[in-house]
Structure formats: structure tokens, C-alpha cells
Structure 1
Amino acid sequence: MYSSILVPIDIAEEDLTNMVIPYVQTHAVLNTTKVHFLAVVPFHSFYTSLGLAYSAEMPSINEIRQSALSKLNEIVKQFRLPVEKIETHIADGSPKDQILKFAHKIGADLIIIASHRPNITTYLLGSNAADVVRHAKCPVLVVR
């Protein structure tokens, strides 16, 4: 049924990753599929908000992407999927925009995304999950 599944991973949120593992495993086993794991690195301007205002303190985007890819590859091992079914990817920018863009690029048949518990500002879903659900061109499984 699904030949291409996109699983966005927030490499800083281990709890969210743990929530999606059984759903990804089930869909990957039931379908002849390729599972694309995507981590999105925020823009450089994000780092200035952390106090890393000087370029000498801020790692290069290539260093950030390489570090994120290493972390993503470690996280993906927890899914215990056959290596031939897995592809890992890194993008930088706005998570919701990059998730939607990448889903279109790979022709995703399904997106499996974790969502934080809602609060008053996000009401029903986390803001990234809500935007992905609202704008995705394929089914989206939101895990909470």
C-alpha cells in the first residue's frame, strides 16, 4: 500500500522518537516500502538566539549538518528496520516547510510524525504537526 514513508525526526526530542517507533515498524513491515528519515536543522539565525552571536563561535552549516546526520543515523538504529529499507536525510530551515517540501520531492505515500501534547497556543496539535496535516498532499499519521 505504501512505497515511500517519510518520518520527520526531531533529534533533540527523544520522547517523540520513541513514540513513533512502533508505528514506523508496523508500516514498514506491512508494506514493501522505503522509509525516509528526515531531520531538519534550524536556520543559522536560531543560533544567535542561543547567544552564539559571533561567527567564530558558531559552527559552519556543514558541521551542523554532519553532526545532525550522525545523530539521526544513531536514532534510526532504534527502529530495527532492514538497512535496505532506510534512507536518512538532513535539511535546514523551517521544519514544517522542509517536511512538506521533502514529502513532495520523494513522493511520500505517508508521513508519520510525532506531536507534543497540545497547550493553549497549539490547541489540538503541535504547530509543526498541525501545519503538516493541513498542507500535506498524502495521508499523515500523527502520533501522540
Structure 2
Amino acid sequence: MFNTVMVPVDLAHADKLDRALSCAADLAQLYKARVVYVGVSAAVPGAVARTPEEFAAKLDAFANEQARLRGIEATAHAVTSHDPATDLDPALLDAVKDTGADLVVMASHIPNVTDYIWPSNGGSLATHAKVSVLIVRGG
């Protein structure tokens, strides 16, 4: 049913993604699909990495560790953005196309009042992506 599962990850908060990571791995095992972990970073130094190359290397290491821990085929797809805070939704939509994903599994928070004014990243992706999107709430 699914061949490529895209999982957006924020390496600065990887410890809060376990439910989504587990869900993606379970689906990948069920459908014998590969998982692509997508991370978006700025070209300038940040909390996770000083350069886009360092960020890509850390994302690759994350994907390799997930593959080893969860028994799945996994790769990484790093995206560099001028302003990840404002470019995240379009960057993730582009990544769906770039990775050939036919399913996106992403973590999200429990909605609050601001989500009625500004849509969440998961809600925006689910609204605009042409593939199935599974939003996994909670840590």
C-alpha cells in the first residue's frame, strides 16, 4: 500500500518524537516501505548544527540509528531554508515530492487556541499534500 514513508523530524526535539517514530517504523515494517527522515535547517549556525553540511551529517546519523534500532530501511533528506520558521510548510511539501513519499507520518502537539488562528504544520501539510498524512499526537 505504501512504499515511502516521510517523517519530518526536528533534531532539537528528537526526544519528543517517539510515538511518531514508532508509528512510522511499524507502518514501514507492515508495508515493507522505506522511511525518509526529513529535517529543515537554516544556512546559518543554529542550536543543532553550525553548517548545512553538519546538519545533514547529523540527520544521516539519526536515520542510520533509527534503521538499526527499529529494523527498517531508512535514509535522510536534509533541506536548507533561509528561514525555517516561515518556510517549514512549503519546504515539507517540496520534500514530499523530492522524496517520492506516498505517506507522511508526523508528530504534532495537542491543539490549542492559537491553532484556530494559525494552522499547525501538520494541519497545513494534511491540507495541501497530495499524499496521505498521519498526524500522531503526543510525545
How much has 1:97 moved relative to structure 2? 1.0
- Equivalent of 2:55 in 68, 72, 76: 68
Q: Cα gap change, 1:126/1:27 in structure 2, threshold over 3 Å: closer, same or farther?
A: farther
Q: Which moved more, 1:131-140 or 1:90-99?
A: 90-99
What 5-or-longer segments of structure 2 have no aligned partner? Answer: 82-86
Q: Report deviation, 1:63.
A: 4.7
CA separation of 1:43/1:116 partners in 2, compared to 1, >3 Å: closer, same or farther? farther
2-structure distance, mates of 1:33, 1:70: 23
Q: Which has the larger radius of gyration?
A: 1
CA-CA distance at 1:66 after TM superposition: 2.3
1:1-144 alignment runs, 5 A limit: 1-42=1-42, 44=44, 63-76=50-63, 77-78=65-66, 80-82=69-71, 85-93=73-81, 94-123=87-116, 127-144=120-137
Secondary structure of 1:19's partner? helix
Equivalent AA in structure 2 for residue 133 of structure 1: A
Aligned mates of 1:74, 1:124 — CA distance in 2: 36
CA contact (8 A) 2:37 2:74 kept: yes
RMSD between superposed Cα atoms in Å: 2.6
Match for 2:97: what amino acid?
H
Q: Is the 8 A contact 1:43 1:92 kept in 2?
A: yes
Superposed CA deviations along residues 78-106 of structure 1, whole A, max 9, x for unmatched, are 452446x2111100222211111010123
- Find the aligned partners of 1:41 and 1:69 in 2 and give their Cα distance: 9
